[in-house]
Amino acid sequence: MDKKTRLLYVDDEPAWRNIFRREISEDKRYEIKTADSGADALAVLNNWRADIVLTDLSMPGMDGIELLQHIHLLYPETFVLILTGVNSANEAVRAMKAGAYDYVLKPFDFTTLQMQLAKIIDHQQLSNQEAHEPDARFEQLIGRSPSMYQLFEGIRRIAPTNATVLIRGESGTGKELVAAAIHSRSSRCDKAFIPVNCAALTESLINSALFGHEKGAFTGADKRKAGFFEHAHGGTIFLDEIGDIPLQTQVALLRVLELGTFQRVGGIDTIQVDTRIICATNKNLEVAMREKTFREDLFYRLNVVTLNTSPLRDRAADIPLLANQFLRTSSQKHNKQIDLIAPGTLELLSAYAWPGNVRELKNAIDRAAVFSNGNTLLPEHLPPELLQAVSARHGKASAAQMTLDSTNLPEIEAAVIRRVLEDKNWNLSQAAEALGIARGTLYSKIKSYNIER
């Protein structure tokens, strides 16, 4: 018998969970679990890998989009469907932009839902047939540059311990993946891994989100609620953007680090948890300490074991590897068959400085995959800002020229020129400047390539 498809249904409203269970459990092709919050869903996923997650969009604490982002990062093979109200077209668009496979309107039409599920299952069967490249992969992290190998080695050594870890690095360099890898390689791996983006929580919400609250603690607190620390009991909590937490929360966090205890908001009972803490920051905490926005005692507590993620511009060797991996995922996501990155495109990718690091590369490839209509990613499919930045950086050796030199394909140069012209609204002077060539040269190239407005 075929393996059952695992569905995780996430909704804070019990009535909807019951309806879903009742309707779908009759279908023997599915194995179903439900969760009542984003944190609960992550706890379930940690030892029950769902094939498809259906999550409500608006939930307190971690909303559906935030949950979707964590799932993409931690369990890239899992498909996510977002549930939105019938009259919320904007929300559906937001969900799709965030990378949801599809959206489902509430109240459900179960026949449509079954069709959506069947489509995903077909997709998954296809992708399971594709070979996975085992090389240069460490958990979800990809890389073969020396600094990545050093990072993998660091993770290998500290994962089995209970040490608090501080991960430092620019935004988009994979700090959350590092935290997840530490958890996966620790003895806590069958318990929850709860990532928390501290910067996304307002000062009034952060304490109750982290430590939970008692009934009546504030307006709207109609029942007792466990916080992220309780959800992560036995497992690992990942506090991202730790440099952004308010001072009063820093005091409470210091106590958890020293004693393993805290109190829920509005509560008097002392709660004891066994939760490993991993933090990350892209801020300079030394400066924050000098400015008195980050406590010194907390810093020294956190800074016991530090791992650094390096910027993508310092490890160009990883760019083709990452780009090819992202292309596979994006091509599948957008129902395309793009299996090649043109040499000229790779050259441009390697010449760019990637201020947004791997996240920016992933988005650039995803966008290029949408624009591509053949089986190859060409320079013209790359974001115009990237082409301009490369030509500006290389002065006379413009993006178009580099492409031409490396591949000797005039059509690529023509495509790059067309792209820049469109971006500059056919202002020849600006386009020539962006391309790093003289206006006259641009004019003759437009003529010789027959580029028309």
Ligand X SMILES: Nc1ncnc2c1ncn2[C@@H]1O[C@H](COP(=O)(O)OP(=O)(O)OP(=O)(O)O)[C@@H](O)[C@H]1O
Residue numbers of the site for ligand X (CB under 6 A)?
73, 141-143, 169, 171-177, 240, 280, 282, 322, 358-359, 362
Residue with tokens 């073969």: 144
Q: Which H helix or E strand runs over 311?
A: none
Closest-by-Cβ residue to ligand X is 174
Q: Which is nearer to ligand X, 217 or 305 (CB)?
A: 305
Least distance to ligand X, CB of residue 450, Å: 40
* 3-state percent breakdown (helix, strand, coil) of the chain, nearest 5: 50, 15, 35
Q: What does residue 409 show for φ and ψ, rounded to 5 degrees? A: -115, 100
Cα 436 from Cα 396, distance rounded (Å): 5
Q: Which is nearer to ligand X, 64 or 212 (CB)?
A: 64
Q: Which is nearer to ligand X, 175 or 419 (CB)?
A: 175
Least distance to ligand X, CB of residue 178, Å: 7
Q: Which is nearer to ligand X, 117 or 158 (CB)?
A: 158
Least distance to ligand X, CB of residue 159, Å: 16
Least distance to ligand X, CB of residue 66, Å: 12
Least distance to ligand X, CB of residue 58, Å: 23
Least distance to ligand X, CB of residue 174, Å: 3
Cα 412 from Cα 258, distance rounded (Å): 60
Least distance to ligand X, CB of residue 332, Å: 15
Q: Which H helix or E strand runs over 83?
A: strand 79-85
Cα 139 from Cα 266, distance rounded (Å): 40
Enumerate residues 6+ apart whose C-beta is below 8 A from 150: none
Q: Which is nearer to ligand X, 51 or 240 (CB)?
A: 240
Q: Which is nearer to ligand X, 216 or 355 (CB)?
A: 355
Annotate 8-48 with DSSP letters as a single string. EEE-S-HHHHHHHHHHHTTSTTEEEEEESSHHHHHHHHHHS
3-state secondary structure 184-222: HCCCCCCCCEEEEEHHHCCHHHHHHHHHCECCCCCCCCC
Least distance to ligand X, CB of residue 150, Å: 13
Alpha helices in 56-196 (DSSP H): 64-74, 89-97, 110-129, 146-158, 175-184
Least distance to ligand X, CB of residue 21, Å: 32
Six-digit token pair at 434?
């962006």
Q: Which is nearer to ligand X, 148 or 400 (CB)?
A: 148
Q: Which is nearer to ligand X, 27 or 139 (CB)?
A: 139
Least distance to ligand X, CB of residue 350, Å: 16
Q: Which is nearer to ligand X, 293 or 308 (CB)?
A: 308
Annotate 234-300 with DSSP letters as a single string. TSEEEEETGGGS-HHHHHHHHHHHHHSEE--BT--SPEE---EEEEEESS-HHHHHHTTSS-HHHHH
Q: Which is nearer to ligand X, 172 or 212 (CB)?
A: 172
Cα 151 from Cα 309, distance rounded (Å): 7
Tell me if 346 sits within 8 A of 352, measured CB to CB.
no
Q: Which is nearer to ligand X, 282 or 391 (CB)?
A: 282
Tally Cβ neighbours within 10 Å of residue 115: 10
Least distance to ligand X, CB of residue 322, Å: 6
Residue with tokens 């500290």: 158
Q: Is the peptide bond before 107 cis (omega within 30 degrees of 0)?
A: yes
